[in-house]
Structure 1
Amino acid sequence: MASRSLLFTLRRKCIINSEFGSLWTLEKGKFGRFLSSGALNSEAVEEESNSKENEDHLRSRILRLRLPKRSATNIIQKWVNEGNIVTACELRSISKELRKSQRYKHALEISEWMVTNKEFELSDSDYATRIDLMTKVFGIDAAERYFEGLPVSAKTSETYTALLHSYAGSKLLEKAEELYERIKGSNLSFTVLPYNEMMTLYMSIGQVEKVSLAVEELKSQKVAPDIFTYNLWISSCAATLNINQVMRILDEMSHNPGCNDDWLRYIDIANIYVKAGHLVNAESSTVVEAGKGIMQREWITYDFLIILYAGLRNKDKVDQIWKSLRMTKQKMTNRNFICILSSYLMLGHVNEAGEVLDQWKQSTITDFDITACGRLLDAFSDAGLSEIANKFHVLLIERNFDLTNLSK
């Protein structure tokens, strides 16, 4: 089986140092440190950071601006007036550090200063960053006006994607779909990112059936899916209880030469984070960045991991992840319950499915999705699990759920 072969490869490539909580990988004939949860000395890091800030550099001056009302632009101009040289590379580096600290206003002011001083030529990434920062500081309308006011030469794949990201983040479906059509109709070359943005939006608003359509569009344009594409695609199929499609996707991943390395690294990191209990709910915006070699857009989510390990027939991992999810402070959703139920059905564990239903009954969730619940009820009945089907039916009645539109 492809999934078992994949799991065997994973075990061969990972060496976990349980004493230090570190992950090592064998890559290109060398051992390299990939992730560590306990090796850094926090006091030494803090001391080094403080030492840097005490030095008189443009970076240290700007980072000392703790209050948003203070101007980074004034600091830069004063630095220049003192006879110092400012480079675009330095300003971009400072801006990146500010964004990581969520100091978006000061980061935007640095961008404004670069625009004002004509000797700096803005790159496509600079324009895209400005769109993201304007969304965070002034709102989506300001970002939209800025994008539409850009010259044609600056309306690139990066700026289109940045605006689409803003729409998706604000769950503005109509505007996002309109821009998505403009993207598809343009002569620009796009990566997988716009498709992932739309898939993320569809998942966030409950229109999971549209995720597969985005995947079809992606493939028709000869764009290679990445690990996050598979994350969303599998999660959407799990949410609609399309278990056969989940298994087909897992098989596709195992045969995709461009996905294998990312897949293995992704699972490596997942093992560490699950063991350490550091993962967060997939519904939360505060998700774990996977680390070196894995981009921010390839975040780990609980639902994805649950269905992946179900596909690998690893019930212990499914149990462990579900337990970790229930222990988080994040609000559980019906999608979380549907995902774990579909996984236990895939594994053929009826008792565990019944226990999950009991947990669902004890929760305070009221946002039941009528389509997903109908599929779940059908799945129980089709599997001959009449007792569980009846229990689920009673649960929906107790929650005053409208059963008239559920499929029979």
Structure 2
Amino acid sequence: MRRTRLYTTINNCNRGSGSFPISRFLSSGALRSEFFEDASNSHESNDLRSRIFRLRLPKRSAINVIQRWVSEGNQPSIFELRQILRDLRNSQRYKHALEISEWMVTREEFVLSDSDYATRIDLMTKVFGIDAAERYFEGLPVSAKTSETYTALLHSYAGAKLTEKAEGLYKRIKESNLSFNALIYNEMMTLYMSVGQVEKVPLVVEELKRQNVALDIFTYNLWISSCAAILNIDEVRNILDKMSRDSGSNDGWLRYIKLVKIYITAGNLVNSEGSPLVEAEKSISQREWITYDFLIILYAGLENKDKIDQIWKSLRMTKQKMTSRNYICILSSYLMLGHLKEMGEVIDQWMQSTTSDFDISACNSLLGAFEDMGLTEKANDFHMLLLQKNCSPTNDTG
């Protein structure tokens, strides 16, 4: 029972969305002074991007800022608006980004691309929730239901772990006459990994092959991770051989393969002594190096604490930003092995981090595991961590 809970916890990943009425801000309406920051005497830049970014509160309207900009004799281009929208998304200003998308849709002079529609689906998911994004997608003309918009909606389903809806859409995708790249399959593989249905990942890979779609580095990563999660190391070796023979193989892939083989030697999971673990990771992007998470899971299953310590130390020394999944994975592994001191250290590290993404379900499962094992102090510490990070746990820890 404990291992089942922990396994589910380890394989959970994060994302979520809020919801509030669309009518609150999509109506352009009359320009109202209260929707603008008082920046008339500001010495800051006064271009359109600067004006929009000076909107401090989500309730203030980016649409009104654009209309005021136009009333002053300016005409923003679609390329300028796309860049501002992109910057807003990167800053997690999703409501204002969606308002810009809405304004673009209403302008007859703008010809929207497939990416514009896909971006809008993603933003609607983040601001209004899955249902709104789904309705928007279904209301699109056939010409706008492209590989990009299908992928965007599937990404939303996968992020919310709506397996049934994702599988239904995936079936529609396979029955369509559209051409898809590996991304659509990666979304399904990521979903299955996140909900602990790792046995379905190879089925997606087989479908991808039947459609003659080229596997990318992330596809291989997910495929390897699914095999490693069930300790099928022989299949990991077979996949690495396939990677090395892949016609799309490049220097990044070869580094990836070499890195994996550092960990898998002579039929076991013992690192090559003296391997420059940290330096290897530093030269490879997040999608090009093997996920630390599954290696931590493997070593936890083998009860090899030394290797878990080494991997965790290496992960913290890389330039990649830590995610809540990383913390949940290492905490679960230490919990499985009964190393309470290390668990306390990880909780302290998480408190000091800037990580803001949380999966309530995974956190509840971990909190419940602490309580099930009678670790009241650790449960209280973890509860305080969640409160500090503005992540309120629920009473349902089953």
Please tell me the TM-score bracket, short chain as reference.
0.5 to 0.7
Quick one: structure 1 residues 299 and 241, their matched pair in 2 at CA, closer, same or farther if it must change by over 3 Å?
A: closer
Distance in 2, Cα, partners of 1:192 & 1:182: 16
Distance in 1, Cα, partners of 2:161 & 2:191: 6
Moved more, 58-67 or 208-217: 58-67
Unaligned residue ranges in structure 1 (runs of 5+):
1-52, 280-289, 310-315, 341-354, 365-397, 401-408
Alignment partner of 1:69 out of 59, 62, 73: 59
Tell me the residue number matched to 2:168.
Answer: 178
- Count the aligned residue pairs: 280
Quick one: structure 1 residues 58 and 302, their matched pair in 2 at CA, closer, same or farther if it must change by over 3 Å?
A: same
Looking at both structures, which has the greater relative contact order when contacts are Cα pairs under 8 Å and sequence separation is at least 6? 2
Tell me the residue number matched to 1:261.
Answer: 251
- Which residue type is aligned with residue 226 of structure 2? S
Q: Are 1:148 and 2:151 matched, yes or no? A: no
Alignment partner of 1:119 out of 106, 109, 112: 109
TM-score w.r.t. length of structure 2: 0.61
Quick one: structure 1 residues 110 and 300, their matched pair in 2 at CA, closer, same or farther if it must change by over 3 Å?
A: farther
Tell me the residue number matched to 1:240.
Answer: 230
Quick one: structure 1 residues 127 and 324, their matched pair in 2 at CA, closer, same or farther if it must change by over 3 Å?
A: same
Alignment partner of 2:189 out of 194, 199, 220: 199
Query: Post-superposition shift, 1:226?
Result: 0.8
Quick one: structure 1 residues 188 and 235, their matched pair in 2 at CA, closer, same or farther if it must change by over 3 Å?
A: same
Quick one: structure 1 residues 112 and 216, their matched pair in 2 at CA, closer, same or farther if it must change by over 3 Å?
A: same
Distance in 1, Cα, partners of 2:116 & 2:69: 22
Say if 2:157 and 2:165, in contact at 8 Å, map to a contact too.
yes
Tell me the residue number matched to 1:226.
Answer: 216
Query: Post-superposition shift, 1:253?
Result: 1.5
Alignment partner of 1:78 out of 65, 68, 76: 68
- Which residue type is aligned with residue 122 of structure 2? D
- Which residue type is aligned with residue 261 of structure 1? D
CA shift digits 1:253-290 (9 cap, x unpaired): 2222313333256689999x97389x9xxxxxxxxxx9
- Which residue type is aligned with residue 87 of structure 1? S
Quick one: structure 1 residues 266 and 110, their matched pair in 2 at CA, closer, same or farther if it must change by over 3 Å?
A: farther
Q: Are 1:275 and 2:278 matched, yes or no? A: yes
CA shift digits 1:240-261 (9 cap, x unpaired): 1111001111111222231333
Of Structure 1 and Structure 2, which has the larger fraction of its residues in strand?
1
Query: Post-superposition shift, 1:175?
Result: 0.3
Tell me the residue number matched to 1:88.
Answer: 78
Alignment partner of 2:91 out of 96, 101, 113: 101
Distance in 2, Cα, partners of 1:86 & 1:242: 55
Say if 2:228 and 2:298, in contact at 8 Å, map to a contact too.
no
Distance in 2, Cα, partners of 1:335 & 1:177: 31
SS of residue in 1 equivalent to 2:52: helix
Unaligned residue ranges in structure 2 (runs of 5+):
1-42, 263-275, 300-305, 345-371, 375-398
Q: Are 1:55 and 2:45 matched, yes or no? A: yes
Query: Post-superposition shift, 1:150?
Result: 0.2
Distance in 2, Cα, partners of 1:335 & 1:214: 30
Q: Report matched runs for 1:322-401 at 5 Å.
A: 322-324=312-314, 330-333=326-329, 337=333, 357=337, 359=339
Quick one: structure 1 residues 175 and 299, their matched pair in 2 at CA, closer, same or farther if it must change by over 3 Å?
A: farther
Quick one: structure 1 residues 96 and 265, their matched pair in 2 at CA, closer, same or farther if it must change by over 3 Å?
A: farther
Quick one: structure 1 residues 57 and 234, their matched pair in 2 at CA, closer, same or farther if it must change by over 3 Å?
A: same
Say if 1:253 and 1:260, in contact at 8 Å, map to a contact too.
no
Say if 2:85 and 2:97, in contact at 8 Å, map to a contact too.
yes
Quick one: structure 1 residues 256 and 166, their matched pair in 2 at CA, closer, same or farther if it must change by over 3 Å?
A: same
Quick one: structure 1 residues 241 and 266, their matched pair in 2 at CA, closer, same or farther if it must change by over 3 Å?
A: closer
Quick one: structure 1 residues 61 and 81, their matched pair in 2 at CA, closer, same or farther if it must change by over 3 Å?
A: same
Say if 2:52 and 2:62, in contact at 8 Å, map to a contact too.
yes
Q: Are 1:215 and 2:205 matched, yes or no? A: yes
